[in-house]
Each structure stands twice: as C-alpha cells, then as structure tokens.
Chain A
C-alpha cells in the first residue's frame, strides 16, 4: 500500500516499527504536492523547512529510542485562519498577505506535541466567509473528484488536500458548515465538535458564538484520533469546556443496535429526488444495523439561514473591526490621515463578500434596527436550541443530508443568497453548539460524492463517532479514491 493512502494510525505504526522514516514521509508528501498542486490549488503556503526539520528530529528521536507522540510522523495541513508560529496566516485575505503569526494556536501546540508534522496552510474563503472557497483572494481550489467543480467551503483547501490523498488530516473551522459541507462535497469526513470542545485560541475569529475548529479526514477513526489529541480544556479560551473529554476511539466501537436515529422529514421536503433517494438509502443502512428510526420535528430549522446571517454577520462586524491597518496587516499606501488609514486599508484589503457581511452586520446592530434584527434572531435561536433538546429526548442522533446538493461547477453560483442556502442543513448545529459529522454516503450518477450528517446533543461526541463508525463500516464509501489522485 502506498504511503499516501495509509491511515494516521498506520503511518505512526510503520514509522515506529522502523519501516519508513519521517523524512521519507515528508518527502513523499511534498512530491505529491509538486505533482498535484498545479491542478488542485489547495495550498496557500508550504512549511517545507519546518516540516523537514521536524522530520529529522523525529528520526533522531526514533533512533535514540525516545518516546514518540500519538501522531508521530503524520503529515497534516492547517486551514489558513489558524496561527502557526513563524508561518504566514492570510485567512485567504489580501489584508493579511504579510502577516507572520507570532504565536501558535493551542491546537497547533497539541498536535505538534504528539509529533504531527505540519506540511502547509490551506486555501479558504476570505476570513472563512463562503461555501465554495471561491472568495479566497489568492486562488480557486478545485474539487479532486471533478476539477471543474468547487470543493465547497470555507475549508475547501483542507478538504481537497485530504480527498486528493496529500495528507490524512487537515484542520478546518466551522461557523455555519465550513468543515462539514466541503467534507461532503469532497467525499471525506468533516467533524464539527460541540462548541467549546476544542480551543479556539489562535483561530482568527469570525463568529465567536459559533466558531469551532475540527478535523477533515478520510476515516472516522482518524477523526477520532485527531479529536482525542485536540479536545483539551484551555484556559486561554474562556469558552473552552472545563471538563475531561471522554475517549472516542474506544467508545466508537460500541454496538449501535438499539440506538435511535431521529429524522426531521418535514424539514427535508424540498430535497431534490437524487439526494432524497440517497438519503433514504442511508437510513436503510442505519435500520439494517439495528438502529431504530423515528420522526422528529425540526421545522424551526427553516429559519436557520436567516438567523445565521444576522448573528454571524453581527459578530463578524465586531471581530473584524481589529483589522484597521494600524498594528498589523496591509496599510493603504495613499492614506494621509488616520481616518484614511482605517477606511482605505479596509477598502483595499477586504474582498466583496467580507465587506457585504461587515456592512450587513453593522446594519443589524445599528441604532433603531438592533431589536428588529439582532434581538429577534437571538430569540429564534433560543427556540432552535429548545427544539433540538426536545428532539434529543426522542433520539440519540439526528440524521440529515449534509448539503442540499453535491459539488457544483466553479463560478456557477453568483447570487450571495443562493450560496448562503448551501448551508441550510449545517447551520443548525452551529446555532445550538452541537457536535455534527459529515461522512461519505454515496455518489451521484456522474460520480460526485454525497454526504450524510449525524448530529448529536451537546457533549454527545462519543455517540456521534459510534454511529458514524458503524455506518462507515457497513458502507465502506471511504475506500473510494478520486481517480486522478490514486
């Protein structure tokens, strides 16, 4: 079996047995990047020096029989809105073209402590705002299954790098579906943890009551391993859950017979026939595994996109106020006064979608409109949380499609509102702080991947992984590799 198709566990195990060196793994990874990057455009920067140095250190550690981390020699990629000390963090924005991160995000410390090797930073929609990665100021990432299609977004570079078998693990961030939707469109696993499960310290903030960092991988077990490493309380993030996290790799092996799956059929009425059929097939698989399927009422989720575009833009408008051209980032060259430094740097530095969202967010928070928009949205959000709680009284997990459609052609969705509606099935979990996973559940007739989403109650990570592992084992879709990247 080639190195690039190995699971994270197998890479570490081979390295520990001395069958392959860390340096060989890193060189193999960069050789694949050199070969495929021109057609894929998944990376914004590569961390060659850092990766080779780390590999040499690991090879030495191995030679000296020193203890090795749980992710020893696993090459990983990081979404470019997560800080890696000494490397550029652009967030896909012209504003941060030259921003060299002065510190590590907590997740980076945790992954490097377990001896993972950071290979590069991946492309994303500017400040994670988008569902196709086309809002990046730098390049358009392609979907490994069909290069004329978008990989989804905003963590599109991470999803493409994993699906193209360049790295077995890439980090993404999810505010409205930005890990799960590209995971679905690229035929891989995308997991958004319970709000507060993974530290957000060092993730460039977008919507602080929604943002979570999570893994994109090729198998449920790889995602569980990454989550065990990253799920730790962090005092640098005041919303980090101050509790021990349960193990996931052992929990996910528990039998699923008797587990109850809730399906919000009413909410899924508008699903197109091909996707509906595929979803029904997935539900049959759940039943064949001995799971019970019940109907749950989540019709409130038809308001989720509307709530999201008030709450997320309001939070974005305040979070992005820090980009003022004074302390870091790119300052307008023609600004002559301090006011112009602010106004012109932001005009030059931000792309159209970011400006649209900042202005919308400023509007819904402005005097005279705050009650009608922001407070109203937060009230409906309370109802969403309540409805999910009621649903989880009847079931262990909720199943829906991840996305209303599979990978779409680059440039085909021009209307911002149409693009926002791509997240109709994923936003609910962000609004209610729930753990949710997208996993491969089939293909369209022309071979584009389809994803199933399993959502659990808050802190229900073990149940989500348990259900997902059983579904994966029964279907084996994860074994299929996009032809161009075998």
Chain B
C-alpha cells in the first residue's frame, strides 16, 4: 500500500478543487487509509492477461454518434436564471487576469 500522508491528501484535494481545513485533511486521511487498506483485497486476484472492462453491455459495443446537425438548445434567459451572478447577459466571475 502506498504511504499516504496529510500532504498527499492536501495535494489530491487541490487537484479535486476542494478547499480543506487541516482538521478535515486529518479526517479524510484516516478514512482513506482504512478504505485503501480494504481495497488491497484486489491484489489477491490474478489479472494476468485480463483486459480492463471498457464495455458493460454486450449489445452495445460501440457508442453511437449523433447526427452532425444543429438542433434547439436552451434559451439564454433560461440558462442565465441559474447563474449565481451575471452582468449584461453573461455569467460574471471574479477577474481572471490581473490588470496591468
């Protein structure tokens, strides 16, 4: 089993874009260690020459593609009603690039 530390949890939480307090990291670390140690069970299974499962359904082995044609999409007003913040008919977010 890999050595998981609080720093690993911090790094993974950053990748997952979830801010975590030190206390939350400790709790997650504890749970993760327990779950990962349970998951070790899989190492008992000989998977030499076994392909990873990419397809679940026997009758649908290829993803059908949609026709490449324009169709109706959600009206802008409907979409904007859901946005947490908006300005001049657009979704507003804090500035991304610093001025200057």
Given contacts A379-B47, A416-B35, whether A326 and B28 have CB atoms under 8 Å apart is: no
Q: Say yes or no: A363 contacts B58, CB within 8 Å.
A: no
Q: Does A303 contact B (CB under 8 A)?
A: yes
Instruction: Digitize B63-96: 1 where CB-to-A-CB distance is under 8 Å, 0 elsewhere.
Output: 1101000000010001101111100000101111
Set of chain B residues within 8 Å of A195, measured between Cβ atoms:
56-57
List the interface of chain B (C-beta within 8 A of A): 2, 8-9, 12-13, 15-20, 24, 27-28, 31-32, 34-35, 38-39, 41-45, 47, 50-54, 56-60, 63-64, 66, 74, 78-79, 81-85, 91, 93-96
Residues of B within 8 A of A326 (CB): 83-84, 91, 93
Q: Which of A235, A347, A432 contacts B66 (CB 8 A)?
A: A235
Q: Is A317 a contact of B34 with CB atoms below 8 Å? A: no
Asked if B17 contacts A458 (CB within 8 A), the reply is no
Whether A458 touches B59, Cβ cut-off 8 Å, given contacts A338-B93, A343-B17, is yes
Residue A78 is within 8 A (CB to CB) of chain B in the complex: no
Task: Tell me the complex Cα distance, A317–B81, Å.
Answer: 26
Within the assembled complex, what's the spacing in Å between the Cα atoms of A363 and B58? Answer: 30
Q: Which of A302, A343, A350, A360 contacts B35 (CB 8 A)?
A: A360
Q: How far is the CB of B73 from chain A (nearest CB, A)?
A: 11
- Would you call B18 and A433 a contact (CB within 8 A)? no
Q: Which residues of A contact B (CB under 8 A)?
A: 99-100, 102-103, 194-196, 209, 235, 238-239, 241-243, 300, 302-303, 305-307, 309-310, 317, 321, 324-331, 335-338, 340-344, 346-347, 350, 352, 355-356, 358-360, 362-363, 366, 369, 372-373, 375-383, 385, 415-417, 420, 432-433, 458-459
Contact in complex: A359, B28 (CB < 8 Å): yes
Output the least CB separation between B93 and chain A (Å): 5
**Chain A residues within an 8 Å CB radius of B41:** 302-303, 306
4 further contact pairs, Cβ within 8 A, besides A326-B84, A343-B17? A238-B63, A239-B63, A303-B45, A376-B43
